[in-house]
């Protein structure tokens, strides 16, 4: 532990259970000396084990539906009261597609579901940043991170409408990141993470094949939830002060691969 986040205060969205990337991140941020408020959708709290995480990290929990500006306003005001000042770091670790969940094909979408998924997975990031910005809730040199996936750039058929949601999310990071940087000296980035076995991840059709393929394609293998937590800690720390408007791959090298020997060998009838 390096005390990288000593004295820093933040908000962490999206810790549902101990597999969640946000859960691992909360644990690592705590180890590095950061203090934070945990938040999730009210419905997720009833299902989740967030109390256990709160106890472990000495944090308070404030429920908020990330699609509700009213909830976000309440969350941000209460967090500043609890933490005793402005915010240094925010993690947006939220994603959901009803089309994916209900097995509705990309070419046969239910647009009410599509819209709901876009609101939860992408527009919520704009709503969050706009609320932080209007309330002037971020300290200078603060850092905001959202999690994304490479289906925003390349085709992964079963990722369905989440691919479009992630493209939108990454665009919001750049567009809002400009104004947040210019006006408040706050940086905004997305981390594009390897497939990871979590509730959201495992919901994607054929996830087991998907994760095994990515692992075989990547020279360093898939990045784990813990790897993602560590990367996020670095982005919250003062060591990355002028990294902003970036989509940063945490994927063991997958995004720059064409093909690997391990994958080729499955087509050549040879063992690795």
Taking the C-alpha atoms of 73, 178, 36 and 140 in order, what is their torsion angle to the nearest 10 degrees? -100
Q: Is 96 in the site for ligand NAI (CB under 6 A)?
A: yes
Whose Cβ is closer to ligand NAI: residue 5's or residue 151's? Answer: 151
Phi, psi angles (nearest 5°) of residue 160: 60, -140
Kindly write out the interface string for residues 187-226 of this chain, putting x where it contacts ligand NAI by CB under 6 A and - elsewhere. Answer: ------x-xx-xxxx-------------------------
> In which residue are the tokens 């905004």 written?
188
| Residues contacting 230, CB < 8 A, separation 6+ | 28
Select the residue interacting with ligand NAI from 9, 12, 53, 65 (CB under 6 A): 65
Choices 62-70, 102-110, 134-142, 258-266; region in contact with ligand NAI by CB under 6 A = 62-70
Rounded least distance, CB 126 to ligand NAI, Å? 14
Give the footprint of ligand NAI on residues 113-132 (CB under 6 A). Answer: 120
Q: What is the C-alpha to C-alpha distance for residues 192 and 213, in angstroms, rounded to an integer?
A: 17
| φ/ψ (deg, to 5) at 153 | -105, -35
* Cα dihedral 212→217→223→224 (10° resolution): 10
- For residue 262, count CB atoms less than 10 angstroms from its CB and return exposed for 0-12, middle for 13-18, buried for 19 or more: middle
Number of residues that bind ligand NAI (CB under 6 A): 27
Assess 4 for contact with ligand NAI (CB under 6 A): no
Residue number with CB closer to ligand NAI (53 or 184)? 53
User: By the criterion CB under 6 A, which residues form the site for ligand NAI?
Assistant: 13-14, 16, 20-22, 40-41, 44, 65-67, 93-96, 120, 147-149, 193, 195-196, 198-201
């Amino acid at each position: 532990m390096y005390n990288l986040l000593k004295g820093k205060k933040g908000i962490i969205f999206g810790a549902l259970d101990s597999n969640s990337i946000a859960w691992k991140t909360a644990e690592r941020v705590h180890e590095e000396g950061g203090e934070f408020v945990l938040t999730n959708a009210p419905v997720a709290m009833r299902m989740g084990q967030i109390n256990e995480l709160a106890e472990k990290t000495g944090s308070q929990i404030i429920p908020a539906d990330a699609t509700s500006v009213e909830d976000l306003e309440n969350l941000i005001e209460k967090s500043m009261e609890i933490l005793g000042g402005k915010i240094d770091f925010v993690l947006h670790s939220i994603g959901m597609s009803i089309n994916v969940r209900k097995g509705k094909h990309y070419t046969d979408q239910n647009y009410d579901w599509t819209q709901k998924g876009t609101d939860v997975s992408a527009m919520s990031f704009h709503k969050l940043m706009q609320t932080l910005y209007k309330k002037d809730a971020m300290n200078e040199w603060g850092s905001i991170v959202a999690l994304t996936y490479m289906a925003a750039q390349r085709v992964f058929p079963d990722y369905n409408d989440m691919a479009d949601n992630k493209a939108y999310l990454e665009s919001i990071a750049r567009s809002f990141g400009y104004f947040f940087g210019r006006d408040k000296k706050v940086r905004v980035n997305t981390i594009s993470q390897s497939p990871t076995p979590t509730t959201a991840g495992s919901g994607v059709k054929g996830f087991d094949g998907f994760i095994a393929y990515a692992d075989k394609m990547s020279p360093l293998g898939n990045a784990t939830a813990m790897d993602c937590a560590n990367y996020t800690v670095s982005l919250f720390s003062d060591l990355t002060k002028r990294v902003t408007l970036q989509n940063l791959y945490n994927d063991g090298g997958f995004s720059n691969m064409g093909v690997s020997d391990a994958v080729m060998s499955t087509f050549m009838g040879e063992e690795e």
